[in-house]
Amino acid sequence: MVTEKGLLEWGFGNRFEEAFRPLADAGLVPARVISGQGRLLRLGTAEGEVEGEISGRLRHESRSSANLPTVGDFVGCEKRPGSVWRVHAVLPRLSAFSRRAAGDDGEEQVLAANVDTVFLVAGLDSNFSPRRIERALVLAWESRARPVVLLTKPDRCDDPEARRVEMEASAPGVPVHVLSPKHGTGVEALEGYLGRGETLVLLGSSGVGKSTLVNRLLGEERHKTAEVRRADSRGRHTTTRAALVQLPSGALILDTPGLRELQLWGGTLGLVDAFPEIDRLAPECRFRDCRHGTEPGCAVRAAVLAGRVDVDRLESLVKLRAEVERADSPRDVPRRVEEKNRWRPVHKALRTFRPRG
């Protein structure tokens, strides 16, 4: 099939054409979920925006809510002119941001799909923390999207360039940009990520300027912004509804409130990508299951002593890995108690194992 112009504007290109071919043979047409709640969705199609609803069969055959359409998904629809289109299938996702849904079952809930680039936004004020951004990096890598770190509020920092270099050390191989969305400086560095059909998402604490950045990229005040509290440099969340928005450049940006509470859970690929210097050393440890805490023959701890690995990076990895492993089975209380006891000596060792310098 040849992708129509309207679909290209929603990011549907060669990457999805082959996967959609069987659905096209079945008489369905492609669309992208641009917003929605429950059964009712807003779809971007070759004919413009239309209303859609999830078919009863799709809801019945989906073994998990994670298999149901979410914002960013490409779907196969039954075209119904003058009426609500019916969604019958979801295409395989190239990337996905998930969280554990509320309740005892702890089922996966996908909040955003098919994101190309994740802007990790952090303010260069008193609330700046490379450790917090490392956590967001794990989320980004685990989603299979490309992370980019954006450092805002350079006017609140004595040496923004030093902070940028510090952040690069905590995000190996990840682009780091300093910019001021409020004043418009440095925003031109983002042009390379804003190609036609590219999908972006923003992650960051409240008050770091995400809504201001979206407004800057849109060229208009579409997202409300709120003043930041002076006491703690925190702001009020201003985005309340998940939606894909088209930018003048042709890119699409997604700001969904659920990403604010995203927790690490399941999988460790994100940890490997976020801490590559430690992952490269791990095979040199004496024990294959080395936790880099108290075990003898640990190549990672040796590298810390030699000044080749930052001890703060190691400590951050240990904490984040423990969070992932605890979240794997939230109902398994005995295992979580055992895991906590297992990690106690590791954390104790890390507290005392800090090279002098």
Taking alpha carbons only, the member of 39, 29, 35 closest to residue 7 is 29
In three-state secondary structure terms, 233 is coil
Quick one: 210 and 171 in the same domain? Answer: yes
- Within-domain flag for 104: no
pLDDT of 323 reads: 83
Q: Strands (DSSP E) along 124-198, which ranges?
A: 146-152, 176-178
Task: Collect all residues with Cβ–Cβ distance below 8 Å to 75 and sequence separation of at least 6.
Answer: 30, 31, 32, 33, 43, 52, 69, 87, 88, 89, 90, 91
Q: What is the pLDDT of residue 20?
A: 94
Edge-to-edge strands of the sheet including 117-123? Answer: 176-178, 146-152, 117-123, 199-203, 252-254, 244-246
pLDDT of the residue at 235: 46
SS3 content of the chain, % helix, strand, coil (to 5): 35, 20, 40
Is residue 161, in this structure, part of any structural domain at all?
yes
Provide block-wise average pLDDT over 10 residues at a time, the chain (357 residues): 76 89 95 88 93 94 87 95 93 88 67 94 88 90 94 94 94 96 93 95 86 89 52 46 86 76 70 92 93 92 94 92 73 48 52 51
Helical axes 160-170 vs 130-143, angle rounded to 10°: 50
Query: What is the spatial distance between Cα 188 and Cα 343, in angstroms, rounded to a whole number?
Result: 45
Enumerate residues 6+ apart whose C-beta is below 8 A from 244: 10, 32, 33, 34, 35, 44, 71, 72, 199, 252, 253, 254
Quick check: is 100 in a domain? Answer: no
Amino acid 346 reads V
End-to-end CA distance of the chain: 62
Residues 257 and 281 in one domain: no
Coil/strand/helix, residue 288: coil
- Beta strand 29-37 with 74-78 is antiparallel
The strand pairing partners of 178, in sequence order, are: 151
**Residue 118: CATH number of its domain:** 3.40.50.300
Domain boundary among 42, 59, 92: 92
Q: What is the CATH number of the domain that holds 281?
A: 1.10.40
- For helices 130-143 and 311-327, give the axis angle rounded to 10 degrees: 50
Tens digit of pLDDT for each residue in 252-285? 998 666 566 567 766 677 898 999 999 999 999 9
Asked whether residue 118 is assigned to any structural domain, the reply reads: yes
87 plus 145 within the same structural domain: no
Q: Which domain holds residue 149?
A: 112-261
Same domain for 279 and 245, yes or no, is: no
Q: Looking at the structure, tell me whether residues 201 and 131 fall in a common domain.
A: yes
- Regarding whether 83 and 153 lie in a shared domain, the answer is no
- Kindly report the backbone phi and psi dihedral angles of residue 142, in degrees, each rounded to the nearest multiple of 5, phi listed first: -65, -30
Cα–Cα distance between 2 and 39 in angstroms, integer? Answer: 29
Residue pair 212/150 in contact (Cβ under 8 Å)? The answer is: no
- β-sheet bridge partners, residue 31: 75
Q: How far is CA 183 from CA 57, 104, 186, 210, in A?
A: 50, 46, 9, 14
Q: Does residue 270 lie in a domain region?
A: no
Examine the fold and report which residue of 237, 261, 285 is the final residue of a domain before the chain moves on: 261
Whole-structure pTM value: 0.82
CATH number at residue 10: 2.40.50.140
Angle at 10 between CA 252 and CA 32, to 5 degrees: 110
Count: domains in the chain? 3
CA 180, 119, 255, 3 dihedral sign is positive
Does 136 share its domain with 240?
A: yes
Residue 219: per-residue pLDDT = 85
